[in-house]
Amino acid sequence: MVWDTGPWQAGSAVRKLVAMTEVDPRKRWLTLAAMCFALFMIMLDNTVVNVALPAIQRDLNPSPANLEWTVNAYVLTFAALILLGGALGDRFGRKRCFLFGLILFTFASEACALATTDTQLIAARAVQGAGAAFMSPLSLSIITVAFPRRQLPTAIGIWAGVSALGLAIGPLVGGFLVEHQGWSAVFWINVPIGALASSVAWIAVDESRDPGARSLDPVGTALVTAGLFALTYGVVSTNSHSWTSHSTVLWLGAAGLLLDAFVAWEAWTPNPMLPLSFFRERAFAASAAVMSLVGLSLFGSIYFITLFLQNVQGDSAIEAGVRTLPTTLTIVALGPFAGRVGLLVGPRLQLGAGMLSIAAALFGLSRVGIDTGYAVLAPFFVLLGIGVAFTLPGATSAALGAVDHARAGIASGVVNATRQVGGALGIAIMGSVGATLTASRFHEQVAGAGQLDPLVVGGRASLITDPRLHHAALDSFVHGVRGAMLTASLLALAGAGIALVGLAGARRSAPQGAHAAVEV
């Protein structure tokens, strides 16, 4: 269950609507339908894949690190290319680039379903993320151009509602598909949806561009993509190497050099993909930091919740999907009220309280045991949903309120990219913490059984037949889960502190126009 708030990088289309040629009213709603189909596919894919992770474990037998990469490959390419996707659409045609992303995502989904090795699946997931990086930012841009101002709030409300629907039913659909058709079905479902969305978009969507679109930044894109990959790979590699090993130090050192070069390039080039001037505004910098910490704490914790419910407590895929519904349904129910809350109490209190709620929920989940009942877990799932429902839209609104409205499109893309980057790093960091603690605990209880580490670290104790080793493996994995959850809780607590300090004096304002919508 990976949450995607969507970048909605409308670019400068909010102010320059490409002469705003009148769109045939009949085509407007078909255009909206095509955008909703595509968004639904992205949201559904994010949530159903997490439910399928244990089934992928059993079938493809990936290492713990490679299992993380089935999620990270998608999130990382999405984050690294999201700004580029919006910029290419503004410059070369939004319809053209949207269709490219949609077709790429659809064929990558088919490749995921046909994968017979974990390496093939990871590669296809990376391509999926690239396709989503084109689709997600351009869907709102296309809607903004297609609808007149008086109908735009209704269209955006429907668009955001479809996002929430995909988020809510994803765990149920994923659980049903995995249980009755196998894990590949969670990818096959994208193929007919993608084909339908492509057909409707080809017929209904009119081409549009931003005449004032900025030049592209291929050097910046290459540097940040390589730097984020090296950083994530270096952290994930600690599952099998120590933090001080030559391999880990080499990857992390390379990441530092590449990301430093990226910052230096963005400061020098006249057309940066990441305007560093945004971060001189304290409210924007604080909101972006909070957003990244949401990703860090949330994505990794959800990864472990899925494995805990199925691999430790023995839930089926559909049972695990049902049990995580309190989080998604709470987000869907409370998301529409987030803007009103921000106007009443201000972004500082909204984000501070939201991050405290997330921290409290994750701390509660850090106390789980092998036999912890669902009645104990459910309230923390609800509390987690409350925190997410108010934090994500609140951080976006606060960030956009801190910059010139003419640059709201690129600002929203930057904020969303920080969340995606945080998510990738969160899975890597939580996975590293969990793996280290799990292996250490297992070695304390059982000597000379290091060959079982991949099974133990992956939570696959069911494959260990010796009763003593089986119980030690379960106990060790739960110990790792608790440590990962506690780490996530501390990161969320740090986010609350940043919000309370960094947003002091921030205005109680809501973004205007299209950006007032919140996709949860």
In total, how many domains does the chain have? 2
- For residues 504 and 508, give the distance between their C-alpha atoms in angstroms, rounded to a whole number: 11
The reply to whether 261 falls in a domain is: no
Same domain, 512 and 441: yes
Same domain, 298 and 195: no
Q: What is the pLDDT of residue 210?
A: 67
Domain boundary among 167, 183, 211: 211
Same domain, 369 and 489: yes
Domain boundary among 162, 177, 211: 211
**pLDDT tens digits for the chain (520 residues)?**
444 444 334 444 433 444 344 556 778 888 888 888 887 887 777 667 878 888 898 899 888 878 888 887 887 788 778 777 877 887 788 888 999 999 999 999 999 999 999 999 999 999 998 998 888 778 777 887 787 777 776 776 677 667 666 766 777 788 888 888 889 998 998 899 889 888 888 988 888 776 665 667 788 888 888 888 888 788 877 766 777 888 889 999 999 999 999 999 988 988 787 788 888 888 889 988 998 898 888 877 888 888 888 888 888 888 888 888 888 888 878 877 776 777 788 888 889 999 999 999 999 999 999 888 899 999 999 999 899 888 877 887 788 777 776 666 677 677 777 877 787 788 888 888 888 898 889 888 887 766 777 778 777 777 788 888 888 889 999 999 999 999 999 999 999 999 999 888 766 554 444 343 444 4
Same domain, 294 and 199: no
Same domain, 305 and 415: yes
CA angle, residues 89, 72, 48, in degrees to nearest 5: 85
Q: What is the pLDDT of residue 355?
A: 94
Same domain, 143 and 291: no
The reply to whether 238 falls in a domain is: no
Tell me the two tokens of residue 29. 């709603």
* Helix or strand (DSSP H, E) at 305: helix 282-307
CB atoms near residue 240 (< 10 Å): 17
Nearest to 436 by CA among 480, 382, 377: 480
Q: What is the DSSP letter of 370?
A: T
The reply to whether 264 falls in a domain is: no
Same domain, 194 and 316: no
Same domain, 366 and 512: yes
Domain boundary among 211, 229, 258: 211
**Full-model pTM:** 0.78
Same domain, 192 and 61: yes
Q: What is the pLDDT of residue 297?
A: 83
The reply to whether 31 falls in a domain is: yes
Sign of the Cα torsion 461, 464, 465, 468 reads negative
Residues 6+ apart with CB under 8 A from 509: 343, 397, 401
**CATH at 33:** 1.20.1250.20
Taking a C-beta distance cutoff of 8 angstroms, is the pair 422, 299 a contact? yes
Question: The domain containing residue 184 runs over which residues?
Answer: 1-211
